[in-house]
Chains A and B, each alone.
Chain A
Amino acid sequence: MASESSAIATGEWHPANSSRAVPAILREEGVLLVAVEEGRTLASAVPERIEISPRVGSIPRRVRFPDGSVFETRDNDGVDGYLRVRRGPRNGLLHRLEKFHPRLILMTLAVILLATTIYRFAVPVLVEVAVLVTPPFVPDLIGSGTLASLDRTILKPSDLPEGERQAISEGFSKLAAQSKGGQGAYRLNFRDGGVIGPNAFALPDGSLILTDDLVKLANGDREMILGVLGHEIAHVEGEHSLRQLYRAAGVAALVMLIAGDVGSGVEDILTQGGALLALSYSRAAEAEADRRSVELMRAAGYDPVALARFFAVLEDKLGDHRDASILSSHPGTPQRQQDIRNYAAQSGGRLQAR
């Protein structure tokens, strides 16, 4: 042979679809790329018709000939050297980016920055879009399903006297009539809360649950109960629980998409833990609901700051003097009372000025 052939890499050659392996050398012979075994040509083709698997770390490279036979080698550098000459210096760029190098620190910082940006800005937008496209029966389904399962497990029928319930319901109707959805959008349910104690909560379909213990805690102050109910109406109006649900699901989905493989343990924490997290409202949602309670109460002709009285009772009985806590998503009670009074004074002032 006139032209000196140059070896690219040593490895093994497999006939098409066969496990049989022959020690071989990959080399360039003129315009052809050939796999040879001690001078015997095993396969050859023009480079254009040959597939070479892209480099990933230092795993074996596969050079696939048109006849289906494969030359496999661990000599990644040999193959890369050949490809850079043949296909230009940009070849294998991805692998060079991935190499362990101080540059990776920069990339890590970029990832942290981008991830924070996504969390702060993209997630809220995605949540809003999801809320917008949610068909109305979804909250209904969640609401009725949750109430049914709560009734089976924790809640018991209310023991309150009929007159008491009647009176609260009447006030509640007046309050609901002032909300965006109108009176028909809400249903008030009385229950014995069992272990959950004095509490009131709203389900996304407009079902509100008021526990007997809360009524007892109010000690005859009905306006205070209505203040709490106004707060819960606001949660439904603002679709806060749906938002929280989407938020938890969205964060979990994004983490799994972006990180690719987070491991089954972390995956479980993201999905199950996210569901737990979805049960609580964010600090901003609570503050919004507090303000809305003031507005609804005033519009219905009640004391706008009745909700603040509830927090005062809570503070008194529960000894909840925290200003805010890292563990809780709720602003501390003293702070909330103050915010409610401030807001009532502000918005009240505006009303009078008009």
Chain B
Amino acid sequence: MSTTNTQQQLINAFSTVLPADAVLYNAEDLHPYECDGLSAFRQIPLMVVLPETVEQVQSIIKTCHQLQVPVIARGAGTGLSGGALPLSTGVLLSLAKFKQILDIDPLARTARVQPGVRNLAISEAVKSHGLYYAPDPSSQIACTIGGNVAENSGGVHCLKYGLTVHNILKLDIVTIDGELHSIGSDALDSPGYDLLALMTGSEGMLGVIVEVTVKLLPIPQQAKVIMASFDDVYKAGNAVASIISAGIIPAGLEMMDKLAIKAAEDFIHANYPLDAEAILLCELDGTEIEVNEMIPLAEKVLRDNGATETRLAKDDIERAKFWQGRKSAFPAVGRMSPDYYCMDGTIPKSELGNVLQQIADLSKEYNLPVANVFHAGDGNMHPLILYDANIEGELERTEEFGAKILEACVQAGGTITGEHGVGVEKIDSMCVQFKSAELSQFHAIKKAFDPDTLLNPGKAVPTLHRCAELGAMHVHDGKLPHPELPRF
């Protein structure tokens, strides 16, 4: 069946359940959906549908299942790994119209929301009850809760308050047969397997999320932030370990290196010290008593580890300014270079110095500058490689450089992605992190939910053949990875 025929069949089927303006198939209407936050990868979808009821989603998915057409779900499209990259043969299912906060229960400290509700909108809606939704990815002003669940998004407060998986209670999902399932519960546990954990971070490959019940936390009475300057990134890394060893769990503990400091300072004027090799932002929150107890202790630990200066934000305005510099680090770096490529590896904190050195060496080797910004408290690094896509071959060199950083993270006992997801971007690096049997197990999980591989196919988990072909290009120690596979 030709693409045109399939498209016509889909249009006919969808027109019975959706209004005409919720089915897009003209080229000019499809362009805005060609990529997500990873704009280096682009593809025009076969068509876009914009349902607004769960029944419509079920009907769309049933039709796609019958016609064996791939379905790619999309929230706000802020993802950084190409998880919502369309397929030319697939339907892009936008959940943008699912914007309702359905219920807020202040006593139970929960909110039931549709997947297209923005992350920050939840905290804003419950603020009057003294509550908030804890995970705060830097894109929280735009990203949606459905996408957060699909990616298991993090943010700067994960060490103390957890990731998305720790802050949701219940999901309604539609599986590829069009069936609606409720997983998790309003209680603290559910009988059977932990499908809630399995769905979280599954990148739209197991089901489409149509409702989310989130946990809400009480807003801390007080939050204070210390900015510490260091003349050496190693010292800053050691200070991170010492703070944790002292029994302090900061609400946020972020590090920026010299290039990132300069970029943020030029952009935001947060009064960052331009002569420092690294700064740490250490936020402590809680009751007034505990914050006041912890601040002097944290300042002492930072100074004992060689901080050249520690500065306590004098009020909430200065505190917001310190954070604004950090949260704007990506666009700030974007002003220094035509393009940048953001990595997302996570490593044990003790490996920080080692991996930073490897990144510095690779930066020299590839002759591409790197600005380092990271969630130091949980070892999640975001090296930003500066490049110019207009220079021929530079994007390819950047991707190769990025893949080497991720290999270094895996070798250091870490992972290729802490919070951005695999998507299409890091799919080859999955071959470095996992063995064939593990990848096969992932494919078996996928088949249990989606036997025909129609939900977001080709993302997150590489085929064994892809890894074998890649392995043939990267032979380590004379050993071929995945030696059990036939080669051609």
Q: Do A and B come from one complex?
A: no
Binding site for B on A (CB under 8 A): none
